[in-house]
Amino acid sequence: MKNKIIIAIDGHSSCGKSTVAKAIAKELGYIYIDSGAMYRAITLFAMRHKLIINNKVETKKLEELIDNIEISFKYNNGLLKYETYLNNENIETEIRKIDVSENVSYISELKFVRELLVKLQQDLGKNKGIVMDGRDIGTVVFPSAELKIFMTADSKIRAQRRYKELIEKGDNVNFEEILNNVEKRDYIDQNRKESPLKKAKDALLLDNSNLNHKEQLDWILKKIDSLV
Ligand code: DC
């Protein structure tokens, strides 16, 4: 395709959005942005400042401090991937841990957090040639994206995939804990007041419960071809 486009990928937690989004970006020579990493970065910041107590965020204090947060992505040449930075500190490993996953929903439901991050995300996409994944990319961040995909998979299959990933990283987790986290996040994501997770009317549905990586990539590349 000659003209660069915006590809918005939304969907449920742990359904492999980032894996497929990265592969498409690589294939097309596009930038890949993981918007969930930005919500995770703010969550980590809030946790470090003890602003999340008993599942409640000290919103006033976080709002006061939020201008001190700078989120960026830098390419790691060794690992061949973009990594997330919070005020110039590499936080890529820390933001994937279960304690951040447990708290991120309380941060991502805050209006002032979403407004800040949506602006940042729109700015990153102003030259197009971008693949962004998240929950509100096709509905709020880029409502006129040329290609919108809504991904999902059975929650047990998603939990199994995340469990395997965390165990391989050496994290001490159990399957029930992961499944509960996946289902809880689905519920909160879909039912929150601010930008709830929903399929944009013009998004294409991709259920990958029974598809491998290559099948998903081929499915999306075919859709991109049909746009020309
Ligand atoms: O994609 P992820 O699981 O890393 O995202 C972490 C959390 O951030 C997820 O529970 C929902 C939230 N999120 C969001 O509300 N909007 C986005 N665009 C991306 C993520």
Cβ of residue 36 lying under 6 Å from some atom of ligand 1: yes
Cβ of residue 40 lying under 6 Å from some atom of ligand 1: yes
* Residue 228 scores a pLDDT above 70: no
Number of structural domains the chain divides into: 1
pLDDT of residue 49: 97
**Digit-coded pLDDT (tens) for 203-222:** 999 999 999 999 999 999 99
**Digit-coded pLDDT (tens) for 50-96:** 999 999 999 999 999 999 999 999 988 888 788 999 999 999 999 99
Specify whether the CB–CB gap between 175 and 160 falls below 8 A: yes
Provide, rounded to the nearest whole percent, the portion of the chain with pLDDT above 70: 99
**Digit-coded pLDDT (tens) for 136-167:** 999 999 999 999 999 999 999 999 999 998 89
Alpha-helical runs (H) found in 7-97:
17-28, 35-48, 59-65
Cβ of residue 134 lying under 6 Å from some atom of ligand 1: yes
What's 32's domain CATH number?
A: 3.40.50.300
In a domain, 228, yes or no: no
Range of the domain at 205: 6-214
Cβ of residue 106 lying under 6 Å from some atom of ligand 1: no
In a domain, 91, yes or no: yes
In a domain, 225, yes or no: no
How many angstroms separate the alpha carbon of residue 2 from the centre of ligand 1? 31
How many angstroms separate the alpha carbon of residue 195 from the centre of ligand 1? 11
Max Cα-Cα span within the chain: 51
